[in-house]
Structure 1
Amino acid sequence: MTTTEFQVTGMTCGHCEMSVREEVAKVAGVDGIQVSAASGQLVVTSDTPVDAAAVIAAVDEAGYQAVTA
């Protein structure tokens, strides 16, 4: 199992978390998603390494900014 962490800016509430979760779930290979508006942290788990650029693009699609942590 591979874990990749991202720092997300702009999230303020549970709705923000849900928006990020829904978009990141569309990225190929993603098995698990943990997202916290309070800490600004996004943790993605997968069986194989996930394309970080694709995750960052998904977060951008949700309306937020992400960088690898």
Structure 2
Amino acid sequence: MTTATYSVNGMTCGHCTSAVTEELTKLDGVTEVTIDLNAGGTSAVHVTSADALDETAVREAVDEAGYELAAS
């Protein structure tokens, strides 16, 4: 089991969290996505997966939802 936290820019509401969650749960092995929404800035997205997480795939899923990972 792997858990990773990503910072995501641009999320401001429940619709945003739903869109990101929907895209991330499409990734192989992802079992849970929780989001600490910070409407005034960068939100923390916690992803739990049975498999190792591929940061490129996570970035693409977040992009598909219309948002972007914050620079690390």
Same fold (TM over 0.5): yes
Q: 1:31 to 1:7 in 2, by over 3 A?
A: same
- Which ranges of structure 1 fall in alignment gaps of 5 or more residues? none
TM-score, structure 1 length as denominator? 0.88
Structure 2 residue 12 is the aligned partner of structure 1 residue 12:
yes
Q: 1:57 to 1:30 in 2, by over 3 A?
A: same
Larger Rg, first or second structure (1 or 2): 2
Paired residues, number: 69
> Structure 2: how far apart are the matches of 1:53 and 1:22?
17
> Structure 1: how far apart are the matches of 2:67 and 2:55?
15
TM-score, structure 2 length as denominator? 0.85
Q: 1:49 to 1:68 in 2, by over 3 A?
A: farther
Give the structure 1 partner of residue 3 of structure 2.
Answer: 3
Counting only pairs closer than 5 Å after superposition, residues 1-69 of structure 1 correspond to structure 2 as 1-38=1-38, 40-67=43-70
- Which ranges of structure 2 fall in alignment gaps of 5 or more residues? none
Runs of 4+ more than 2 Å apart: none
Q: 1:9 to 1:22 in 2, by over 3 A?
A: same
